[in-house]
Amino acid sequence: MKLLAPASSLVLLFTALTLPARAAEAGATHGWHADTLGEAIAYMLLFAAIGIMAAIAGYKIFDKCTPGDLHKEILENKNVAAAIVAAAVILGVCIIVAAAMVG
Protein backbone atom coordinates (compact mmCIF):
# COMPACT_ATOMS: atom_id res chain seq x y z
CA MET A 1 0.00 0.00 0.00
CA LYS A 2 2.88 2.36 0.69
CA LEU A 3 4.01 2.14 -2.94
CA LEU A 4 0.67 3.36 -4.28
CA ALA A 5 1.12 6.96 -3.14
CA PRO A 6 4.46 7.49 -4.97
CA ALA A 7 3.12 5.73 -8.05
CA SER A 8 0.03 7.91 -8.19
CA SER A 9 2.20 10.98 -7.68
CA LEU A 10 4.33 9.91 -10.63
CA VAL A 11 1.27 9.51 -12.81
CA LEU A 12 0.08 12.99 -11.86
CA LEU A 13 3.54 14.43 -12.52
CA PHE A 14 3.70 12.64 -15.86
CA THR A 15 0.30 13.96 -16.87
CA ALA A 16 1.16 17.53 -15.86
CA LEU A 17 4.46 17.49 -17.75
CA THR A 18 3.11 15.99 -20.96
CA LEU A 19 -0.28 17.67 -21.21
CA PRO A 20 0.96 20.81 -23.04
CA ALA A 21 2.89 18.73 -25.57
CA ARG A 22 -0.14 16.50 -26.13
CA ALA A 23 -2.43 19.47 -26.69
CA ALA A 24 -0.11 20.84 -29.40
CA GLU A 25 -0.20 17.54 -31.30
CA ALA A 26 -3.94 16.93 -31.21
CA GLY A 27 -4.09 15.20 -34.60
CA ALA A 28 -0.67 13.49 -34.59
CA THR A 29 -0.10 9.91 -33.48
CA HIS A 30 2.41 9.66 -30.69
CA GLY A 31 4.27 6.68 -29.24
CA TRP A 32 6.43 6.41 -26.14
CA HIS A 33 9.18 8.64 -27.51
CA ALA A 34 9.66 11.81 -25.47
CA ASP A 35 9.53 15.13 -27.26
CA THR A 36 10.63 17.28 -24.32
CA LEU A 37 12.99 16.93 -21.39
CA GLY A 38 10.00 16.95 -19.03
CA GLU A 39 8.45 14.01 -20.89
CA ALA A 40 11.74 12.11 -20.81
CA ILE A 41 12.08 12.61 -17.06
CA ALA A 42 8.44 11.67 -16.50
CA TYR A 43 8.80 8.48 -18.58
CA MET A 44 12.00 7.60 -16.73
CA LEU A 45 10.32 8.04 -13.33
CA LEU A 46 7.24 6.14 -14.45
CA PHE A 47 9.20 3.17 -15.77
CA ALA A 48 11.49 3.19 -12.72
CA ALA A 49 8.48 3.02 -10.38
CA ILE A 50 6.85 0.26 -12.42
CA GLY A 51 10.15 -1.64 -12.61
CA ILE A 52 10.78 -1.46 -8.87
CA MET A 53 7.22 -2.54 -8.08
CA ALA A 54 7.49 -5.42 -10.58
CA ALA A 55 10.83 -6.56 -9.11
CA ILE A 56 9.41 -6.56 -5.58
CA ALA A 57 6.25 -8.36 -6.71
CA GLY A 58 8.33 -10.97 -8.59
CA TYR A 59 10.43 -11.62 -5.49
CA LYS A 60 7.34 -11.92 -3.27
CA ILE A 61 5.57 -14.26 -5.72
CA PHE A 62 8.69 -16.42 -6.02
CA ASP A 63 8.96 -16.51 -2.22
CA LYS A 64 5.32 -17.68 -1.96
CA CYS A 65 5.87 -20.40 -4.59
CA THR A 66 8.92 -21.93 -2.92
CA PRO A 67 8.88 -23.98 0.27
CA GLY A 68 10.06 -22.18 3.40
CA ASP A 69 10.60 -18.48 3.96
CA LEU A 70 13.21 -17.16 1.53
CA HIS A 71 13.47 -13.81 3.30
CA LYS A 72 14.13 -15.49 6.66
CA GLU A 73 16.57 -17.92 5.05
CA ILE A 74 18.63 -15.07 3.62
CA LEU A 75 18.61 -12.71 6.62
CA GLU A 76 18.60 -15.01 9.65
CA ASN A 77 20.35 -18.12 8.36
CA LYS A 78 22.80 -16.22 6.09
CA ASN A 79 22.16 -18.65 3.23
CA VAL A 80 24.22 -17.37 0.30
CA ALA A 81 22.69 -19.82 -2.17
CA ALA A 82 19.19 -18.55 -1.36
CA ALA A 83 20.39 -14.97 -1.80
CA ILE A 84 21.83 -15.80 -5.21
CA VAL A 85 18.55 -17.41 -6.30
CA ALA A 86 16.58 -14.38 -5.05
CA ALA A 87 18.94 -12.03 -6.91
CA ALA A 88 18.49 -14.07 -10.09
CA VAL A 89 14.70 -13.77 -9.79
CA ILE A 90 14.89 -10.00 -9.30
CA LEU A 91 17.32 -9.59 -12.23
CA GLY A 92 15.09 -11.74 -14.42
CA VAL A 93 12.09 -9.53 -13.73
CA CYS A 94 14.21 -6.41 -14.36
CA ILE A 95 15.37 -7.77 -17.72
CA ILE A 96 11.74 -8.37 -18.71
CA VAL A 97 10.78 -4.81 -17.70
CA ALA A 98 13.77 -3.39 -19.63
CA ALA A 99 12.81 -5.37 -22.72
CA ALA A 100 9.26 -4.06 -22.46
CA MET A 101 10.58 -0.49 -22.26
CA VAL A 102 12.80 -0.85 -25.32
CA GLY A 103 10.32 -2.81 -27.41
- How far, in whole angstroms, is CA 31 from its chain's centroid? 19
Residue 49 pLDDT: 92
Residue 62 to residue 18: CA distance in whole angstroms: 36
In whole numbers, what is the pLDDT of the chain averaged over residues? 79
Kindly state the percentage of the chain with pLDDT values over 90: 43
Residue 1 pLDDT: 45
For 28-60, write each residue's pLDDT tens digit: 556 767 889 999 899 889 989 988 999 999 999
Number of helices and strands in the chain (H, E): 4, 0
